[in-house]
Amino acid sequence: MSGTGESPLVDQTYTGTWNGKALTAQMRWAPGDTPEVLRRGVGKATLEDGTQVSIEGWQPSADSMEFSLAPDPGGATYKTTKSTGDGKAGWESSSLTLIEKK
């Protein structure tokens, strides 16, 4: 095995909101496993009241990301678009916003 010794896994922390409630999320991203997915991630999100939910994400393009959270009463998949505010990258939909913490 050759390479730079860097792991293809990337740990990322986010702050944001889900259905109007503040949350923090920690995810581990890996390279995509199909041609349609650039990268795929799993992790935990903690809501402002301390409730923890599982979060999964997959990135079909450079400008979009899709997330699912469980348990989610609606079982929704949140299709987000890339945003940049205050120099920080993020992902936004009407119900879910995740901003990368530096």
**What pLDDT is attached to residue 32?**
95
Indicate the pLDDT class of residue 5, thresholds 50, 70 and 90: low
pLDDT digits (tens, 9 = 90+) for 38-94: 999 999 999 999 999 999 999 999 999 999 999 987 888 999 999 987 778 899 999
**What pLDDT is attached to residue 92?**
96
DSSP E strand boundaries for the chain: 10-18, 21-31, 39-47, 52-61, 64-70, 77-85, 88-92, 96-100
Domain range annotation of the chain:
25-43+54-62
pLDDT at 3 over 60: no
**What pLDDT is attached to residue 1?**
45
